[in-house]
């Protein structure tokens, strides 16, 4: 656990960098959660089931970005970055 984030149980993975302009809107992230103070990159276990979908919106952010959804524990972090 890092702050309020359960990094070891990551299940919702974006296909783009959260520092990209408009990211919070495309991924339906509320303003109070859009202070991205770290970024994890990694890989998914080879036996993992992966579902891709449009990210749901949380008003006023519309969502719609492509995200991958996996089971908790199937994400293996390979790097940690603090902008």
Confidence of residue 35 (pLDDT cuts 50, 70, 90): confident
pLDDT tens-digit profile of 53-78?
999 999 999 999 999 999 999 999 99
Mean predicted confidence (pLDDT) in 6-16: 83
pLDDT of residue 83: 83
* pLDDT of 33 higher than 50: yes
Q: In angstroms, what CA-CA distances link 7 with 4, 59, 80?
A: 9, 25, 10
List, as one string, the DSSP characters of 7-20.
GGG--EEESS-TTS
pLDDT of residue 1: 47
% of the chain with per-residue pLDDT over 70: 90
């Amino acid at each position: 656990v890092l702050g309020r984030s359960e990094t070891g149980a990551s299940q919702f993975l974006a296909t783009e960098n959260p520092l990209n302009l408009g990211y919070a809107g495309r991924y339906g992230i509320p303003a109070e959660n859009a202070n991205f103070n770290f970024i994890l990159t990694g890989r998914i276990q080879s036996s993992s089931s992966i579902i891709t979908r449009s990210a749901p919106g949380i008003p006023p952010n519309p969502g719609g970005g492509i995200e991958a959804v996996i089971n908790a524990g199937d994400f293996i972090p390979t790097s940690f970055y603090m902008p």
